[in-house]
Structure 1
Amino acid sequence: MQSNDHIAQTIRLAMEQYFRDLDGETPSAIYDMVLACVEKPLIEVVLTQTQGNQTRAAELLGLNRNTLRKKMKNYDLI
């Protein structure tokens, strides 16, 4: 299985479990919830892989370095 397929399958399984766990509750703002759950660990792992090099991490993420720094600040990573 390719990495992209593996990530997609992992998210699919997690979301299916999320809906099972709702137990009749009505979900809301799912998109924002998922992004918030995924974005912080994504940034953390990429920063680890780049040994904290924010310029390189921003390149790998496809972000502007200032955008990365803003996100890092929002997640208390700096």
Structure 2
Amino acid sequence: MSFEGTHYSPRVTGSFAVAKTKKKEPLREVVRDALVHYFDQLDGTQPNDLHQLVMQQVEQPLFETVMEYTGGNQSKAATLLGISRSTLRKKLAQYEIE
């Protein structure tokens, strides 16, 4: 999976919005870059529960975006995600997504 085309998205840094151009990049590379940045920010501190942290950071926007994409239709969202509606409902409750 890769992001198609170039997109403009404002990024807020401090009190200033900065224009950021996104290039085509496979999702796995975006994740890898984010993890490298995360480790750089640790400044030698050992992370705890990294798998859980990453899953939460990825799952919540995944479910939010899919729910928005499907117009809130849980059946369509569950099918798109390849999970059952009951699992979807549990995740929506877990992340407090309406």
Name the aligned partner's letter for residue 54 of structure 2: V
Choose the corresponding residue for 2:83, options 60, 63, 74: 63
Question: What runs of 5+ residues in structure 2 fail to find an aligned partner?
Answer: 4-24
Larger Rg: 2
Query: Deviation at 1:24?
Result: 1.1
Kindly tell me the number of residue pairs found equivalent between the two proteins: 77
Calculate the aligned-residue CA RMSD, in Å.
Answer: 1.4
When you count strand as a share of all residues, which structure comes out higher?
2
When you count helix as a share of all residues, which structure comes out higher?
1
Name the aligned partner's letter for residue 3 of structure 1: S
Asked if 1:22 is matched to 2:42, the reply is yes
Segments of 4+ in structure 1 off by > 6 A? none
- With the length of structure 2 as denominator, give the TM-score of the two structures: 0.74
Question: What runs of 5+ residues in structure 1 fail to find an aligned partner?
Answer: none
Residues of 1 paired with 2:38 and 2:83: CA distance? 29
Query: Deviation at 1:3?
Result: 1.6
Q: Considering Cα pairs closer than 8 Å and 6+ residues apart, tell me whether 1 or 2 has the greater RCO.
A: 1
